[in-house]
Chains A and B, each alone.
Chain A
Amino acid sequence: MGSFPAILQSEWTKIRTVRSTVWTLLLTFVVTVGLGALISLLTKNNFADFTKNDNSPFDATTTSFAGIGLGEIAMIVFGVLAVGNEYSSRMIRVSLAAVPQRGTLLTAKSLVVGGLALLVSLVTAFVTFFLGQALLGDHHTTLSAPNVLRAVFGAAVYLTMLCLFSAGVTAMLHNQTLALGVLVPFFFLLSPILSAVPKVKNVAHFFPDYAGKQMLTVFPTPSEPYGWLAGFFICGAWTLAALLGGAAVLKHHDA
């Protein structure tokens, strides 16, 4: 077997030498931060209107993360492209000829993609939080308030997991266009819609995005079927399953 650090370095070179890495990650940051800032500002200016029918305490953290549902789409695209461009360019054959240990190759790629996604997600999460809080003015919260720091880290972990989930699904489908066509509509439309439909939502509440978003909640919500820790494990299980599925397909499929 080849040297694992060498394979990691090679995967890092792959990821940093295509433009899509920059624009997808930049978009994740800009959309999440920007939309969160906008909603925070609107909330401050219309605070009485926005909260008058709401009996639960005002969640300043969640408000600042209002843009994550859109920002995650760019992160999903990043995860798909990182794996999918090997297939769309047929480069997968060159990659496997260089590193025929397929499980090792996918592990290295996942570590590099996941590591970069986590880094960008952490920066995104903290900038989103601080900017949002600054714009919320009197209604803001702080990192030292209960559960807030966990929720901010939760936002970063959430984005990272969705990215790796998408990477795993792309390896399972071994087709970039197909993966984009399945994952983007699913996370952008299908899952949010289904999670609001009576009866169906009982299932949809176990989808990776819905489960993962529980990591962002600050106040325990009795209406939710489970808490943030269960959400972490459910989303994590989806991610792991997608990566293992991707590895299984990669190992057995002709390249």
Chain B
Amino acid sequence: MIELHELTKRYGDKTAVDGLSFQVPQGVVTGFLGPNGAGKSTTMRMILDLDRPTSGRVTIDGKHYGQLSEPLKYIGALLEAQAVHPGRTAYNHLLWLAQSNRIPIRRVDEVLALVGLTEVARKRARGFSLGMGQRLGIASALLGDPEILMFDEPVNGLDPEGILWIRNLMKRLAAEGRTVFVSSHLMSEMALTAEHLVVIGRGRLLADLSMADFIAQNSRSAVRIRTPHPEQLLDALATQSITAEAGPEGSYEVVDGDLVKIGELAAASGVTLHELSPQRASLEEAFMQMTADSVEYHAGVAPGEVVTDAAGAAGAWGAGWQPPADKRQKKQKGAN
């Protein structure tokens, strides 16, 4: 299990990771989500002890990465950029890697087959496409048959076929009981694979919750109404204890409203409707709202309050819909 405790990384004046604490749950795919520059890659490099934390610590199965003997057998990683010598063949790249951790050499052929690179195993990496390079990186990660896998934006720049392949691979790895920690800046990508979510913005934790909770909290619907006679309609709705909030451009919105019931009420009271439409924000919009708020909020407020408030904004539904004031205060789920 990967555990982060108040992990902080500064590059000069720039704070890339700011007091991050969370645990990566075992045996599931955990999505590590945040906009570009949020600090995902930096966090992953610190997990591997490639970048040294300014403060705080991170452990794998309770140990510092440097204390792991033959670490590729515990954790396999694919980092953001291709990291293969262009003049070395795929086979030889995996060979030296296997030898360094005393991994049986037959694993080299196994992982090459697993990622579909057997045909080009003896070709120099120079000629590899982005997708092939990514597959080679994944083969390196799988080489030591590790319990934990970490992928930094694995689908970036891949064609749809490659994306599908990686998605299925991650699901399969989790089904085998492995821990998969995968970063992305796209919610839509995570929605399809991740069971758990860790969201960061500007190096800080915004949310740490199960995908199911995220969906439950973010996929509620609203009914948008537009009418030239709002008072009449609001009165009619009030008779049924339905409250509407002011929406964009003079519209009104009823949270969790029933489209049919509202339409019938309007007809019964003779109110003309110009719009009666269901509103459902995508998870992507919810994610954007969550991280956008963190950015705004960072402008002039003390740290520490950030996690609570920014996470609270997860109630937002995205474009055009303003969450009610009380919802904004509700804490989604803070740091562990």
Residues of chain A touching chain B, judged by Cβ–Cβ distance below 8 Å, are 1-3, 6-7, 9-11, 13-14, 17-20, 85, 89-101, 252, 254-255
Contact = CB atoms under 8 A, between A and B. Distances in A.
A44 to B, nearest CB: 42
Nearest to A252: B52
A13 B92 contact: yes
Given A93-B50, A97-B72, A18 B99 contact: no
B84 A91 contact: yes
A19 B124 CA distance: 11
A93 B99 CA distance: 17
A102 to B, nearest CB: 9
Interface of B: 45, 48-52, 65-66, 68-72, 77, 79, 81-89, 92, 95-97, 99-102, 140
A100 B100 CA distance: 11
A85 B71 CA distance: 23
Given A93-B50, A93-B79, A100-B49, A19 B69 contact: no
Contacts of A14: 85, 88, 96
Given A2-B101, A7-B100, A17-B92, A100 B66 contact: yes
B85 A91 contact: yes
Nearest to B11: A254
A17 B100 contact: no
Given A6-B100, A13-B95, A98 B72 contact: yes
B150 to A, nearest CB: 10
A19 B97 CA distance: 18
A1 B69 contact: yes
B210 to A, nearest CB: 29
A91 B99 CA distance: 16
Contacts of A1: 69
Contacts of A11: 96
Contacts of B65: 100
Contacts of A96: 48-50
Contact of A17 (B50, B70, B88): B88
B83 A91 contact: yes
A96 B99 CA distance: 14
21 contacts: A1-B69, A6-B101, A7-B100, A10-B99, A13-B99, A14-B88, A18-B85, A18-B87, A19-B87, A20-B87, A89-B83, A91-B85, A93-B50, A95-B100, A98-B72, A98-B97, A98-B101, A100-B48, A100-B49, A254-B45, A255-B51
A94 B95 CA distance: 13
